Amino acid sequence: MHELGITQNIVAIVTEHANGMKVQKVVLEIGKLSAIMPDAIKFCFDICSKGTVLEDSILEIIEIPGLAKCSQCGAEIALDKPFGVCSCGSVQLDLITGEELKIKEIEIEEICV
């Protein structure tokens, strides 16, 4: 399960950017064509965040749909797999979206003095 390693990296990156402050929420963008299972990331996140500034934080995952552009006719095609066929018959598709894995947002607890 490569999601464990990915989640460990996400936790490390967010921890570094939090500078020791408590993280309330992390928002990820994961493309539907990325071969990354959002449910597995959620499961691993709870485990990987234990004992860190991310412990008990909310993980929100936004799934980005697959979209490609046909090299022949220029049409844009929605994809649920990393391949497909355009209505013109071409299989030469350039992926536009769907392979993302991005930390979109980190919400850090405000400290009142």
Q: Is 52 exposed, middle or buried (0-12, 13-18, 19+ CB in 10 A)?
A: middle
Q: Enumerate the known binding-site residues for Ni(2+).
A: 2
Binding residues, as ranges, are 2, 70, 73, 86, 88
Query: Which has the closest alpha carbon to 79: 25, 13, 32?
Result: 32
pLDDT at 36: 95
- Report yes or no: 60 and 102 within 8 Å, Cβ to Cβ: no
- pTM tops 0.95: no
pLDDT of the residue at 110: 73
The verdict on residue 53 lying in a domain is yes
The letter for the amino acid at 110 is: E
Q: Could you tell me if residue 89 is inside a domain? A: no
Adjacency order of strands within the sheet including 76-79: 76-79, 66-70, 93-97
Please answer whether residues 32 and 63 qualify as being in contact, where contact means their C-beta atoms are separated by less than 8 angstroms.
Answer: yes
Range of the domain at 57: 3-65+97-108
Confidence band for 38, pLDDT divided at 50, 70 and 90: very high
- Specify the pairing of strand 93-97 against strand 66-70: antiparallel
Q: Say what the pLDDT of residue 1 is.
A: 58
Domain count, the chain: 1
Question: Is pLDDT above 80 for 112?
Answer: no
Q: Binding site residues for Zn(2+), as ranges?
A: 70, 73, 86, 88
Is 48 within 8 Å of 12 (Cβ atoms)? no
Q: For the chain, what percentages of helix, strand and coil (3-state, to nearest 5) are there? A: 25, 35, 40
Quick check: is 78 in a domain? no
pLDDT, tens only, 46-98: 999 999 999 999 999 999 999 999 999 999 999 999 889 999 999 999 999 99
Q: Which CATH number belongs to the domain containing residue 59 in this structure?
A: 3.30.2320.50
Q: Is residue 76 included in any domain, yes or no?
A: no
